Amino acid sequence: MTNITEQPGWFKRALQVPFEDRQVDVNGSSIHYLYWSNDEAKPGLLFVHGNGAHAHWWSFLAPFFMDHYRIAAIDLAGAGDSDYTDTYTAESFADQIVGVAEDAGFGREGIIVAHSFGGYVTLKTGIRYPDHMAGIVMVDSAVRPPDFQWQRDPKRSPLKPKKIYESFEAAHARFRLMPPQDCKNQYLLDYIGKHSLKAVDGGWTWKFDDSMFNKFEFGTQLHEDLANLRCRVAVIYGEDSYLFSQDIADFMFRVLDESVPFVGIPEAQHHLFLDQPLAFVASLKTLLAEWRHSKPDRQLY
């Protein structure tokens, strides 16, 4: 575990910014989210985590955007401090995203920033609730061609069965990124690992529902959903991400159009805002600033 003296100043300052822990009931499930605001008149920016992750993956980044936005970061059902559910669907996740946005008072002009699996469910949110958002930023969230050749069964759960560890320290020492990759910023891994654990009978274990993908209903034709989005879209990806190859980027670019910005972060893998957090912040800030001062070029029906 890193010593506090090894944490950079920007990280320590970000974590000192106050936020609220909130809960909202969505279809009978308690959904937890984090909320930052210094002005209730500002528009909303909602962060959605990836598979097996949670809202605190964003808590050291959210304060960078408070000059222009109120901010929320959701724990999807089966993750973080939200309820587990009997079944999981893209539609139910979409309901949760909109439920949090409405509870936070974002109205219908909020922007959603979503990583990995979170981008998939946010894409479904845009189709299910076309009038409830102004834009989507997909972060290393690949939409693959319909004839994509998988190297493994795409329906096989990426979540490994959870174990119970006798102590917090023993569990925390076992924290790993999924999909696997290295990360030089150990202080970030220590932080999100700390918020990934909960006490249970017999010790400590991970917060996520490891049976989620056994109960998840997979949709199809994501490229059609991507083409039919009515809001603004932008894409940020890691240039070294093996989940977001250049072929996939080219395919998504063709499905969308030339007005959609694609931003590659150098020296970044799939978990790009852990590899290059400040480059990610700069890229997202630039995209959002352009959206604030321009009208969409895409033909939005």
Give the mean model confidence (pLDDT) for residues 90-109.
Answer: 94
Q: How many CA atoms lie within 13 A of 53 on its CB side?
A: 26
pLDDT score recorded for residue 279: 98
> pLDDT confidence of 147, banded at 50, 70, 90?
confident
Instruction: List the domain boundaries for the chain.
Output: 4-145+211-292
Separation between Cα atoms, residue 86 and residue 36, nearest integer Å: 31
| Fold that domain 4-145+211-292 belongs to in CATH | Rossmann fold (3.40.50)
Per-residue pLDDT, averaged over 118-143, amounts to: 94
The pTM (predicted TM-score) of the whole model is 0.94
pLDDT level of residue 157 (50, 70, 90 thresholds): low
State the average pLDDT for the chain: 91
Nearest to 285 by CA among 27, 78, 64: 64
Could you report the per-residue pLDDT of 203-255, keeping only the tens digit for each?
999 999 999 988 776 666 788 889 899 899 999 999 999 999 888 999 999 99
Q: 247-262 burial, b if ≥16 CB within 10 A, otherwise e? A: ebbebbeebbeeebbe
CB 272 within 8 A of CB 95: no
Distance, CA of 159 to CA of 6 (rounded, Å): 31
Looking at residue 151, what is its pLDDT?
53
- pLDDT at position 134 over 60: yes
